[in-house]
Amino acid sequence: MRFLLIFLVVLVAAWRWRTWRESLQRDKAAAARKAPTMTEMVLCSYCGVHVPVNDAVIGIKGSYCSTAHRLAVEP
């Protein structure tokens, strides 16, 4: 009877430890999904639209949202 009680205590402790570990992993994954990355934005020198730096067309007089706007300002 004593061994059965010890076995049940160990089983419950292992179950609680396992659920605690899984909840930590779930929280960490949720935090990673929830945090959006910030992208730097620049202003188009022709029309004033904000564009991500990665998508902007860089010219001599500034940055532009498209090649057409760059060509309109910088021939």
Report the pLDDT averaged over residues 28-52.
87
Amino acid (one-letter) located at 37: T
Looking at the whole model, is its pTM more than 0.85?
no
Confidence of residue 15 (pLDDT cuts 50, 70, 90): very high
**Amino acid identity of 19?**
T
pLDDT for position 22: 93
Q: Mean pLDDT across the stretch 10-17?
A: 96
pLDDT of residue 34: 76
Q: Contact at 8 Å (CB) between 44 and 53?
A: no
What 3 state SS string does 5-42 have?
Answer: HHHHHHHHHHHHHHHHHHHHHHHHHHHHHHCCCCCCEE
